[in-house]
Structure 1
Amino acid sequence: MLLLTLLIVALAVPAGLAVSPGFLGPARPPEPAAAGPWQQLPAALSAAGGGGNGGSMKPLSTTARVPDPAALAAQLDATLKADGAGSFTGVVQDAVTGEVLFDRAGDEVRAPASNLKLLTAAAALRTLGPDRRFSTRVVAGAVPGTVVLTGGGDVLLGTGDSAPDAVLGRAGLATLARSTVRALQQAGVSGPVSVLLDDALFSGPALSPAWSPEDVAAGEIAPIYPLALNSARFDPGTTSGPRPQDAAMTAAEAFTARLAEAGAAAGVAVAPGVARATATQKGPQKAPQGGPDVGGGPAGKILAEVESATVSQQVDLLMRTSDNYLTEVMGRMVAAASGKPASNDGAVAAVLQQLQELEIPSATLRAADLAGLTLDNQVSARQLSALVRAMTSGPDLRLRSALAGFPVAGLTGTLGSRYTDTSTARGAGLVRAKTGTLNTVIALSGYVVDADGRLLVFSFIGNGLTPGAAGNRAALDRTASVLAACGCR
């Protein structure tokens, strides 16, 4: 019952925030400050869709009291302490005005771990757009009797039927295979048909030189390709352990098996095995004109395709689960859309360019990858806090799509198993934040509505910490819980 209650609150709070002046700026007459109805147990679920005032939650008010910086600092200084070696930096801002309410070495750049993913999330929503989808296609090859499986950036493919309501597995290889067989039948092709793989959308090394071989071997990351099953996992239900080292070929082999199954039922023979296509084997890529044709027809004609979940849905997934592989792929798609090489370096440059366009000072920022797997990344708490503020309250409404992806304390994603004791209970169901963890690094950046109804954004980064010291994570969670409970005066 406690989890159900927290879940209702977690769902209802964003419903109020979505229409609140705290997110969109003061667009209606100020309302009197309330005694925190957004933190009370709701009498009913919000209305479907969460819009307007149809639910039990009231909009936030821009007249809600702002925490007193001195009173807030006194509480945060008592909780934001390292367990052993190292130290924490941090920034807390009022989301509407940008006023800095807490600043502990906020401009000092540090390794942010997976908090770096916030940069890619913002860049993807701005460059690609929340509603963009990626296509995985089968096109007619230049060599008679060949079809080319072409990666278009979807690494969340499933092996079965397409699942329109899913994110992981929204596009299914079984569906793609059946559509391909129908196109071959219409073209009068009975086979044997050979499958070629085109995964040339990305360029440069498939592994960043900044990644340690140990992390690759452990499955924290894998060589980056523009198509993969289950975000480069062997099984959709497994999120740890070794990954396929050639995710594109693994997906192509699974597609060939599905094509053979569908072809056998329809009288179309499929040759075993897959090879990577050369430029001459692929032929020119063309938009479909007229009916499909394989063997003697124009090469590059699209025979079948399936589409991914939207960029907004994928950003939600990478934020909630801190998916390293999906983040790196999304960065390369940002680079391609920006006219830059779809490589590690091109992706980093494209993402940092978006930060500059958001007018977030970034001269001191350094990025070696986008997933945050290396200590070479250097970002300040102020830069991360400013980025979260752009998502909650900035003028670019495309960034609002990132908000739902922030894990909810005690309920979802990487915060699902945290905020479970008395010292952090005040933040459960209320704090929404991106986590970050490396051996000597821990970070937390996000947003929360305090007890007076003020929307606050924050970022805390610990570096040089004692590996495995449990008190560091607890310190971050207690600190964020202070913000949730704050009526700091």
Structure 2
Amino acid sequence: MSRTSKTVTAVLLAAALAALAVPVGLNLAPGFLADIRGGAATTSVPAAQQEPTALATLGGISALSQDAPLPSKEALATALDAALATDKGDFTAVVQDAATGQELYSRNGTAARIPASNLKLLTSLAALKTLGAGTTLPTTVLAGPTPSSLVLRGAGDSLLTAGPSDPAAVVGRAGLATLAQQTAAALAAAGTTGPVTLAVDDTLFTGPALNPKWLEGDVDAGEIAPIYPMALYGGRPDPAGAPALRPQDSALSVGAAFADALSAAGVQVAPGVSRGTAGDGARTVAEVRSATVGEQVEYLLQQSDNYVAEVMGRLVALAAHEPGSAEGATSAVRSTVASMGVNTDGMVLTDCSGLAEGNWVSAQQLAQAVALMAADPDEDLRAGLRGLPIAGLSGTLGERYRDAATLAGAGLVRAKTGTLNEDLSLSGYVVDADGRLLVFSFVGNSFKDGSAAAKPAVDAAATILAGCGCTGS
């Protein structure tokens, strides 16, 4: 890293340390905004924008006040209209005050647009609501129909790894080597000595593993792969595997890796891995459990992981008593967010990651999803806020907000990105210079010169919000 890059990173880190304290206040009620509604301001500069004196931990916004002035709608409109003005595409946008829900700015904000990966906000919201942030997902070895047979059953952990379980990791909280060691010990205790046969049970999900709305080119490029209820490394061949080499049958790939782990643990395994079920009441031989749903949601939002998002969507469907299929997932996500207060008029979902053709979501709906994560008294929802990348520092925003026009937003803007060839989106929140928590969504479509050329506009718009002392005075 060059000296310049190190200096920029240090500046961004200093700006972000206080921002890291923003996402959750687990002891606040009702929800994230409790102190905003009832506290008194202790400083003219919001805590989230002060220079930090120590590394922050995730906590509430205790220094914000209901007395902080709201931005002037007119001043916001002037600044944001200028930032989003372009003849190269079509921007829609919404900005609202998180504490009151008041809409402060709308640029055709109710119009349905292609949301790109911002659709993951809806999937994450539905997953946290229906599954619970603290839920973990088991991967289980069951006794098969014969004494020397085993069945490996998946329950939705797509972040398995081949090595030992790592209690500090999200990818690899459950490891096949640990599962194999448990299995070997159980087989030895039972006196099983002969070759064991291994089958995988991937019947949790139904319907086509590949969503027909995904473009063949995106599948070939490794943007997504067939969805199964167990997978290694988010449906990748290894942690650093080339996207185009994604396994086309993740369940059997997990089975093959588990067979290797069993062999390494001293179990004689018969050649070949088949598909099969253990039957009702089968004895559990061994089990490992995933990272929590909340941790997986944070991961999928930070990394914009399509595979994990699609798995979460199917788990939402099952929790909502719908089929664990692509269609069941989109139906369940839409109905769940509607039940939570998101206005779903005009919303069309064809997948749960935002990669498919035919998705239509408005900026207002995306802003409502972020606002629910911030204001709802359900603490589980706040995991979604922790997953939002930090401008200039983490996830899919790690390399943005590093130029003169947007540096003022670095460390302060937290938002989910979305990028397709001609479409992009950015939805999240920021504490403005007056101490007001603002929720925003910017969605741009039809950029004929490509979406990359439009990123500076949405980043500049969010930076305007971060620096806004837009009281109109």
TM-score by length of 1: 0.91
* Partner in structure 2 of residue 97 of structure 1: 100
- Among candidates 35, 41, 46, match of residue 31 of structure 1: 41
The 5 Å alignment of 1:405-424 reads 405-424=387-406
Unaligned runs of 5+ in 2: 1-6
Query: Does 1:225 pair with 2:228?
Result: yes
Deviation of the 1:405 alpha carbon: 0.4
For 2:351 and 2:445, locate their aligned partners in 1 and report how far apart those are by CA, in whole Å.
Answer: 18
* Partner in structure 1 of residue 379 of structure 2: 397
The 5 Å alignment of 1:240-251 reads 240-251=243-254
For 2:241 and 2:462, locate their aligned partners in 1 and report how far apart those are by CA, in whole Å.
Answer: 30
Which amino acid in structure 1 is aligned with residue 24 of structure 2? Answer: A
For 2:368 and 2:132, locate their aligned partners in 1 and report how far apart those are by CA, in whole Å.
Answer: 21
Tell me how many residue pairs correspond in the alignment. 461
Q: Is the 8 A contact 2:215 2:357 kept in 1?
A: no
Counterparts in 2 of 1:418 and 1:183: CA distance versus 1, 3 Å: same
For 1:241 and 1:467, locate their aligned partners in 2 and report how far apart those are by CA, in whole Å.
Answer: 25
Q: Is the 8 A contact 2:38 2:66 kept in 1?
A: no
Query: Does 1:276 pair with 2:279?
Result: no
For 1:309 and 1:100, locate their aligned partners in 2 and report how far apart those are by CA, in whole Å.
Answer: 37
* Partner in structure 2 of residue 211 of structure 1: 214
For 2:419 and 2:451, locate their aligned partners in 1 and report how far apart those are by CA, in whole Å.
Answer: 12
Query: Does 1:378 pair with 2:360?
Result: yes
Mean Cα deviation higher: 156-165 or 356-365? 356-365
* Partner in structure 2 of residue 202 of structure 1: 205
* Partner in structure 1 of residue 348 of structure 2: 366
For 2:32 and 2:11, locate their aligned partners in 1 and report how far apart those are by CA, in whole Å.
Answer: 24
- Among candidates 54, 57, 68, match of residue 44 of structure 1: 54
* Partner in structure 2 of residue 429 of structure 1: 411
* Partner in structure 1 of residue 435 of structure 2: 453
SS of residue paired to 1:98: coil
Deviation of the 1:162 alpha carbon: 0.5
Q: Is the 8 A contact 2:46 2:433 kept in 1?
A: yes
For 2:316 and 2:24, locate their aligned partners in 1 and report how far apart those are by CA, in whole Å.
Answer: 26
For 2:160 and 2:323, locate their aligned partners in 1 and report how far apart those are by CA, in whole Å.
Answer: 24
Q: Is the 8 A contact 2:24 2:385 kept in 1?
A: no
Which amino acid in structure 2 is aligned with residue 6 of structure 1? Answer: L
Which amino acid in structure 2 is aligned with residue 333 of structure 1? Answer: L
Q: CA RMSD in A?
A: 1.8
Deviations along 1:428-480, one digit per CA (max 9) or x if unpaired, are: 11100101111111111000011111100000111111143543011111111
Percentage identity across aligned positions?
51
Query: Does 1:178 pair with 2:178?
Result: no
SS of residue paired to 1:139: strand
Q: Is the 8 A contact 2:99 2:437 kept in 1?
A: yes
Q: Is the 8 A contact 1:156 1:229 kept in 2?
A: yes
Q: Is the 8 A contact 2:313 2:329 kept in 1?
A: yes
Q: Is the 8 A contact 2:23 2:59 kept in 1?
A: no
SS of residue paired to 1:195: strand
* Partner in structure 2 of residue 294 of structure 1: none
Q: Is the 8 A contact 1:17 1:60 kept in 2?
A: no
Q: Is the 8 A contact 2:123 2:309 kept in 1?
A: yes
Query: Does 1:71 pair with 2:53?
Result: no
Deviations along 1:21-55, one digit per CA (max 9) or x if unpaired, are: 89333564433562334313222333xx5457xxx
Deviations along 1:198-220, one digit per CA (max 9) or x if unpaired, are: 11110011011111111111101
Q: Is the 8 A contact 1:195 1:275 kept in 2?
A: yes
Q: Is the 8 A contact 2:161 2:174 kept in 1?
A: yes
SS of residue paired to 2:198: strand
For 2:315 and 2:375, locate their aligned partners in 1 and report how far apart those are by CA, in whole Å.
Answer: 26
Deviation of the 1:393 alpha carbon: 1.4
Deviation of the 1:17 alpha carbon: 5.2
- Among candidates 451, 454, 459, match of residue 477 of structure 1: 459
Counterparts in 2 of 1:50 and 1:316: CA distance versus 1, 3 Å: closer
- Among candidates 113, 116, 123, match of residue 113 of structure 1: 116
Deviation of the 1:155 alpha carbon: 0.7
Mean Cα deviation higher: 97-106 or 386-395? 386-395
Q: Is the 8 A contact 1:33 1:64 kept in 2?
A: no
Query: Does 1:18 pair with 2:18?
Result: no
* Partner in structure 2 of residue 311 of structure 1: 293
- Among candidates 4, 18, 23, match of residue 10 of structure 2: 4
SS of residue paired to 1:79: helix
Unaligned runs of 5+ in 1: 287-299
Deviation of the 1:8 alpha carbon: 4.5
Deviations along 1:211-245, one digit per CA (max 9) or x if unpaired, are: 11111111011100000100010111246333110
Q: Is the 8 A contact 2:24 2:386 kept in 1?
A: no
For 1:51 and 1:458, locate their aligned partners in 2 and report how far apart those are by CA, in whole Å.
Answer: 21
Q: Is the 8 A contact 2:39 2:63 kept in 1?
A: no
SS of residue paired to 2:233: coil
